[in-house]
Homo-oligomer: A and B are copies of this chain.
Amino acid sequence: NWGRSGKLTLQEHTRYGRQLIMPEIGLRGQLRFKNAAALIVGVGGLGCPAATYLAGAGVGTIGLMDGDTIELSNLHRQILHTQKWLGLSKVDSAVEKLMERNSENHYVAHHCNLDQKRAVETMRKYDLILDCTDRPSTRYLVSDAAVLAGKPVVTASALRTEGQLMVLNNPPKSLDNPGGFCYRCVFPKPPPAESVLSCGEGGILGPVVGVMGVLMAMEALKILSPLHPDHGYQDPTKASCDPIPPSLLLYSAYSNPPFRSIKLRGKRKGCPSCSDTATITEESLKSASSDHAAFCASTSP
């Protein structure tokens, strides 16, 4: 969508040299990054570090979507934003900082929150969605729209001392492929509104959400440049390279061990979003019909 390139400049060879020499990436992987477009929904505590490392790696097109402005209480964890940008747009702040770091990439500013009317259409222009939002309604909307647009999603969240990360719709659902599980497969019903704490209410430690954001960037890079033995690269995890089981990564900063990988059930039969009997369509999403409306009606922060 955004133009393709078949080679790297000398500058790029130098800049990405430390990745280029790795068998996991190589020239093939770097070109995939260069020609890839990732949409970061939410430029806060997760989106800032995720965008920083995707931009560093040379992901050629990075969309940044957020309707918020920067507050002083954001700065401890939203690492692209600085004091002189207080009160101004998070997206504009992020684009400026990312340009300073890597002007080789294109940055696309979306000065809004994810809107159910335009979500699918917007996602179609990207290869991958990073869900860096901060409310349950938007998480269902990101997942539903990404399934309809046929894009994988890296989703994470954090509160207080804990974080969670999943990869959804990977591979994406298509005519040939039933696709990976979606957010609704894991959480078919939304939590009662009164059980949901925001970062403002529960608090959040900067490095906790930071770790999750950087891990999102890593998962995104793995999806954008998957390991392919048939591309002349021998998979280092060959012995365990059966399809990765559906899993949820938990981080708990004060627990020992701090990380835990949880085995999920995966795709849910009759899932209204991703099954072959799905009831959520691009039309129903736009018109906010059915029970979907209950969680997606409010997508403003």
Contact = CB atoms under 8 A, between A and B. Distances in A.
B82 A57 contact: no
B210 A75 contact: no
A260 B82 CA distance: 35
A79 B53 contact: yes
Interface residues of A, number: 68
Interface in A238-270: 240, 244-245, 247, 249, 253-261
Q: State the oligomeric state as a number of copies.
A: 2
A254 B14 CA distance: 25
A77 interface: yes
A53 B240 CA distance: 35
Given A53-B77, A208-B218, A237-B256, 5 more contacts: A15-B76, A57-B76, A211-B214, A222-B254, A247-B256
User: What are the 5 closest A-B residue pairs judged by CB atoms, nearest first?
Assistant: A259-B259, A257-B261, A22-B203, A207-B218, A56-B76
Interface of A: 11, 14-22, 24-25, 49, 52-53, 56-58, 72-73, 75-77, 79, 81-84, 100-103, 160-161, 199-200, 202-208, 210-211, 214-215, 217-218, 221-222, 227, 236-237, 240, 244-245, 247, 249, 253-261
